[in-house]
């Protein structure tokens, strides 16, 4: 049996809560408190196990007061730091500007429609589209790579070509397009958001990614993501996507367990080629 490539990146989701109500979200919010000390320990363990990059996701990491020390610790340990945020709790403060300029390599924001009507419907919050456009403009004045994240389902796939034109004008460093996947809690949205792979790929064909100049366009079908990285919560509990065809998360153990590395290696199929170039060394060095 061929040995799997060990995972190189890990996602740490802040699972206590989220102010958005995205019906298709896969994150199992659990109301468990977040401890800065525990989170730092999780990051130290991630580094010890040989990971090279970490994504802070959520719920929104910026809603947690202890985020800055965690990001700084990750960078001090030599990790590539990626933060995904819905930007509602990302304030335009001097503190956040300093943190982003000096310790964050890549920041991701959602953009699920070319208009407020489409995007706000997907995100379940009126005014979110305008907020995202405003925060993108603010982030352009910072030393950070910008990635836009788009979830495509049956609700918004008709708008993808128009969205591509908007992305062309915005000119982020990267645009990641994801097929809706009814995995974990996201299964509750299946009746409204289901989009088969063939329909997803047909939408991508109409988009004509090659025509979007100056932007790396990353296409992610649901199955391409299965088993390619471990997903942690802020306590260090490790999950993987279950093996096909089960669309659930498989609990593997705690990041602090002695044998957790071999367990993750057995389950990980290796990073998908679409995402490899996201995570590379930047010039942000900690003195």
Band (pLDDT 50/70/90 cuts) for residue 282 is low
Give yes or no for residue 262 having a pLDDT over 50: yes
Give yes or no for residue 210 having a pLDDT over 90: no
Rounded Cα distance between 168 and 149, Å, is 14
Strand partners, 147: 108, 174
What pLDDT score does 285 carry? 41
Counting every residue written for the chain, the total comes to: 287
Residue with tokens 């945020």: 85
Pairing status of strand 216-220 against strand 174-179? parallel
* Average pLDDT of the chain to the nearest whole number: 91
Least confident of 104-108, 144-148, 238-242: 238-242
What's the pLDDT tens digit per position in 44-68?
A: 999 999 999 999 998 799 999 899 9
Band (pLDDT 50/70/90 cuts) for residue 286 is very low
Least confident of 6-20, 21-35, 119-133, 267-281: 267-281
Least confident of 55-64, 86-95, 126-135, 250-259: 55-64
3-class state of residue 251 by DSSP:
strand
Strand order in the sheet with 174-179: 216-220, 174-179, 145-152, 106-110, 80-84, 53-58, 9-14, 231-233, 237-241, 249-254
Q: Considering the chain, what percentage of its residues have pLDDT values greater than 70?
A: 96
Band (pLDDT 50/70/90 cuts) for residue 280 is low
Cα torsion 44, 10, 49, 16 to 10°: value is 40
Least confident of 99-113, 123-137, 179-193: 179-193
Spatial contact of 44 and 69, defined as CB atoms under 8 Å apart: no
Pairing status of strand 237-241 against strand 216-220? unpaired
What pLDDT score does 74 carry? 98
Band (pLDDT 50/70/90 cuts) for residue 277 is confident
Q: Which domains are assigned to the chain?
A: 9-276 (3.20.20.70)
Q: Which residues contact 98 (CB under 8 A, 6 or more apart)?
A: none
What pLDDT score does 1 carry? 32
Q: How many CB atoms lie within 10 A of CB 169?
A: 6
What pLDDT score does 101 carry? 97
């Amino acid at each position: 049996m061929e040995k799997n490539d060990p995972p190189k990146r890990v996602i740490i989701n802040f699972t206590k809560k989220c102010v958005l109500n995205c019906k298709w979200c896969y994150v199992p919010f659990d109301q468990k408190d977040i401890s800065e000390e525990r989170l730092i320990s999780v990051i130290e363990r991630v580094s010890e196990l040989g990971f090279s990059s970490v994504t802070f996701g959520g719920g929104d990491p910026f809603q947690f007061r202890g985020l800055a020390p965690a990001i700084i610790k990750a960078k001090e340990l030599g990790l590539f730091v990626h933060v995904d945020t819905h930007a509602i709790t990302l304030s335009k403060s001097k503190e956040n500007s300093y943190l982003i300029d000096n310790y964050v390599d890549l920041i991701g924001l959602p953009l699920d429609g070319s208009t407020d009507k489409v995007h706000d419907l997907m995100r379940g919050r009126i005014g979110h589209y305008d907020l995202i456009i405003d925060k993108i403009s603010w982030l352009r004045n910072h030393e950070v790579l910008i990635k836009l994240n788009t979830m495509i389902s049956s609700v918004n796939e008709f708008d993808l070509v128009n969205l591509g034109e908007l992305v062309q004008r915005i000119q982020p460093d990267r645009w990641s397009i994801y097929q809706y996947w009814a995995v974990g809690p996201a299964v509750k949205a299946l009746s409204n958001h289901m989009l088969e792979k063939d329909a997803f790929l047909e939408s991508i064909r109409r988009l004509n990614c090659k025509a979007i100049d100056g932007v790396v366009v990353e296409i992610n079908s649901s199955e391409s993501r299965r088993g390619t990285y471990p997903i942690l919560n802020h306590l260090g509990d490790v999950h993987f996507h279950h093996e096909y065809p089960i669309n659930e998360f498989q609990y593997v153990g705690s990041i602090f367990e002695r044998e957790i590395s071999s367990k993750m290696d057995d389950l990980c199929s290796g990073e998908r080629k679409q995402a490899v170039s996201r995570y590379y060394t930047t010039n942000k060095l900690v003195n």
